[in-house]
Structure 1
Amino acid sequence: MKNNLLITIYLFIIIFFTSFGRSNNNQQKRTFSDISFVKETLKVGINSELDTIIFINKSFVFDFTRPAITDSLAKEVLYEYYRKRGYLIQEELIGNENDNLLCIRYNKIFQFQRRDNYSNLAIISYWISPPNSSGHCFQPSKAIVFKTDNGFEISNQEFIPTNYAIDSVSVIENNPTIYGYDYDCNEQNVIRDIRITLKK
């Protein structure tokens, strides 16, 4: 009888600590359902990562049949968009501009490619700053440029924070996908890796 009681207590302790360990392991991966327009899964830890979906607030057709967006074309569309809204263009400055105004400076384009064809949608990065400003930790803004029936458009400005740096872009299951990292420039430290899937 005494042995049966000891065996029962022993089994109870094993089951309790096994369940407790599983509970702690489950807390290492938290899944968030839809939060406004972003669905994300965050793995917590030293090698953390953010895997998220962003739904673009403009209707577009993502394909490889329309004219591709080139670097020079993206720059032209960006400058035209912001010039109409009263921003200065860095390349057009003459040196006596009002420091209270904001200036746009094009950085680069990230093109989505399938085999040898580029798509009708791209990501562009650019700086928004006072004229002729500079800074080591001043990170570029990002926006989406795409081809529509009415021409090229800029959309979803600041759709990701400026501290999200883009490494590369790809097409996964016919969805534009961005790979990069969340970077703390002051500490010169990568906080987490990111993967962002764009959907409409």
Structure 2
Amino acid sequence: MKKLLYIEMDNCIGCRSCLAACTQCGGHDERNRNYVYDVNPLVDRQTIPLMCLHCVNPACARSCPAQAIQITEEGAVLSALVEKCIGCQNCTIACPYGIPKFDEEQNLMYKCDLCYDRTKDGIPPMCASVCPTNTLQWIDENELAEKRERHRVGKWVSSRQPFEPLEGETRVQISLPGIIQGIQKLF
């Protein structure tokens, strides 16, 4: 059965173990491709993890004039191919989530590739395999349906206007039930 990355943002405790694990994934050259943001550091300690959402029709790939950003059969949107990337940085500008980063030394874009060397074989991405609070989960479609039924908060889109989301469907699913419903929970 097909697996996907599911993020329960309100579980994040800011331990940053996902960041450490990301550097150990094959092909990352010990470069971190995920982020953990402090939501409002002067008020509380709330943090959220953020990584590429692997859009179904990604703006980064659409904007690449060299076709350096490939999409796998499983739906993972990969970092720019070294041999094709021309360093134009269109992808970093086009992404509505601000995910791709540009390495000026290598003249190359890099971002989360969903640990494709692992996930293509059904092994969880490094970040999900080490998360102590289940903020990052590698789940199948049945588990996703169960979570959606339990929370019943509707479809989340990345725009203020639900009829015009910044980007369409993503393969990484995000849950904000505790935040949206005002519920505090411990993992």
TM-score range, shorter chain: under 0.3
TM-score normalised by L of structure 2: 0.24
Q: Looking at CA atoms only, which structure, 1 or 2, has the larger radius of gyration?
A: 1
TM-score normalised by L of structure 1: 0.23
Which has the bigger relative contact order, CA under 8 A and spacing at least 6? 2
